[in-house]
Chains A and B, each alone.
Chain A
Amino acid sequence: MNQIKRAALLLFVLAAVSALTACGSSDDSDNTSTGANTSGKGATTGGGGSESATTTIVIHNGEPVGGVQELEYGAGEQVRFRVRSDVADEIHVHGYDLMKDVSAGGSVSFSFPAELEGIFEVELEGLGEQIAELRVNP
């Protein structure tokens, strides 16, 4: 009787852990699949549409069109994106601490090596509005 109870508990624990592990792994495959096409996820894709295509984040009325954009890169790659805005503000890439001014109706482009790993905010500094999330994977 005791033996059975103990075995059942063991099985329960193992099942719980493997279920959680499965959760984790399915999530990971999700991530990699989104990772592959993030460069195309921007609101508008400028240029020829090849691998070197630059994502353009369009700001309309001080908000990013299509919500907060995801930019995903591997460490060491070159981060390239452009911001086209209908409001004048300063674009701030947190962590990397890069700032560039954009004029109303103008656009500004960023190009820098992805040397810091982690998740960073890109925001309109004046409005305090997040426009993109930069992910740099190791």
Chain B
Amino acid sequence: MSLLPFAHALAARQDLPVPAWLFAWGASIVLIVSFFALSVGWRAPRFEGDRWRPLGAGLSRALLGLPAQIACGLVGVSLLGLAIYAGLRGTEAPDRNFALTFLYVTAWLGFPLFSVFFGDVFRPFNPWRAIGRVVGSGFTALAGQPPSHLRYPERLGRWPAAIGLIAVVWLEIVYGSSGGVAVGLSPQPVAVAALLYSGYTLAMMALFGVERWCRTGEVFSVYFGMFGQLGCFGVEDGRFGVRRPFSAATRWATVPGSAAVVIASIATTSFDGASEGAFKGALESTFNRLVDAGFGLTSALRLTDTIFIALCFAGVAFVYLVGVRGMASVPGAPPLKKLWAGFSHTLIPIAFAYLVAHYFSLFVFQEQAQFTYLLSDPLGTGTTDLFGTASAGIDFRLLSANTIWYVQVGALVAGHVIGLTLAHDRAVAYWKDYRQAARSQYWMLAVMVAFTCFGMYLLSVANG
């Protein structure tokens, strides 16, 4: 008997496994492209220094001026408020309640998607930043001086965000799969978690300052911002401008704990994909052992999943460490610590590719719900129909299984190529001798090929 229920409360439909022939083609293309990419004469760094140039001053004013800031902040705060309200007051059916789809699909998957192309689009809509800034200016107006803050411990870096990122996913796929029946996460605990997180975030902002906490501690700012480093628009000195795509990422990992954020992203997505395929047998046997050891069904299930998320994190970190250690063995290499941080941004495209491969179809299908019945009837009570779309449904014919497979494999191949290019670029910046730089990159090649093939392997045994 299958005791492990569907991890996703929302998914009425799951993807079919990628067929073996497509898997083999994908892996072959990855190999061929890799060796070609490494052999081309890319001898000088092209992404270091992002060649940012400002766009028109009018555009800057329109996008970054006070009216735009207030409008975006209001949108962010009211959507968060609506999600929490719907979660607390609305139906318990996860798929009929605005809260789950909005928080875990529209925002959690939508912001990485838009950030990758356009830059950090979350920042203006960040509801906690908006509230924090209003409170901060209120304080300044009343007290006649800006609030004083504690010094943020530099060594902590982005670790709070990395741990928070795992916690957000844990809430969805570990806590949510409790109960032993195919129900999954219900809206109420998500709303409560959002309230708790809001309290925690505002407290941290009060302690360390709004912008300071957003830069390294606030989970969503850091996570979405990480993908935003790949995008081609950016703000510098209060002006809106355009930059070379991927280039901003080269300066992203200067803060401690950055590598942990991108590793956590790859690890949690892998776990989610593997739990219904590659790891299914191992999960079930661990679960049974824990039940035999006297754990209750729910706690055994949660403990099993938690152990495997930790293992995924350790596994991804280990593969990266092998690559970094390998690079360190090449003459002329900078110290290990610098390599570890200095190449971590090259994993961002891989993390994004994993997201696309695993969640692309869920996003496309669930957004139909988001913009029809969930918008018209956010509480899911069947009594409101704000926009006349409350009775609409999801058209699952929108994407065929073939389209989904091509997007999945295409994303993994593209992510691999971009990651490899960024790594090569970083290597020619770190090693004075071009040949040594190229030699060091055989190690990163092994890392990238491993991640890409692991990702494709997960897809090929998905939902088996």
Interface residues of A (CB under 8 A from B): 2, 6, 9, 12-14, 16-17, 20-21, 23-25, 27-28, 31, 63, 67-68, 94-95, 97, 115-121, 123, 127-130, 135, 137-138
Contact = CB atoms under 8 A, between A and B. Distances in A.
B384 interface: no
B446 A24 contact: no
Interface of B: 1-2, 5-6, 12-17, 19-20, 23-24, 27, 30-31, 181-183, 361, 393, 396-397, 400-402, 439, 442, 445-446, 449-450, 453-454, 456-457, 460-461, 463-464
B12 A28 contact: no
B442 A137 contact: no
A24 B401 contact: no
B183 A94 contact: no
A6 B31 CA distance: 15
A28 B464 CA distance: 10
Sorted from nearest, which 5 A-B pairs have the closest CB atoms? A94-B12, A28-B20, A117-B401, A25-B20, A119-B14
Given A9-B442, A13-B446, A130-B5, 19 more contacts: A6-B442, A12-B446, A16-B450, A21-B20, A23-B457, A24-B456, A25-B20, A28-B19, A67-B2, A95-B13, A116-B13, A116-B397, A118-B396, A118-B401, A121-B12, A121-B182, A127-B181, A128-B181, A138-B16
B445 A13 contact: yes
B446 A115 contact: no
Which label, helix, strand, loop or mixed, suits the secondary structure of the A interface?
mixed
Contacts of A25: 20, 23-24
9 contacts: A17-B30, A21-B24, A23-B457, A27-B17, A63-B1, A94-B13, A95-B396, A97-B393, A130-B5
Given A27-B461, A31-B464, A130-B5, A118 B14 contact: yes
A68 B402 CA distance: 26
B13 A119 contact: yes
Contact of A123 (B1, B182, B457): B182
Contacts of B20: 21, 24-25, 27-28
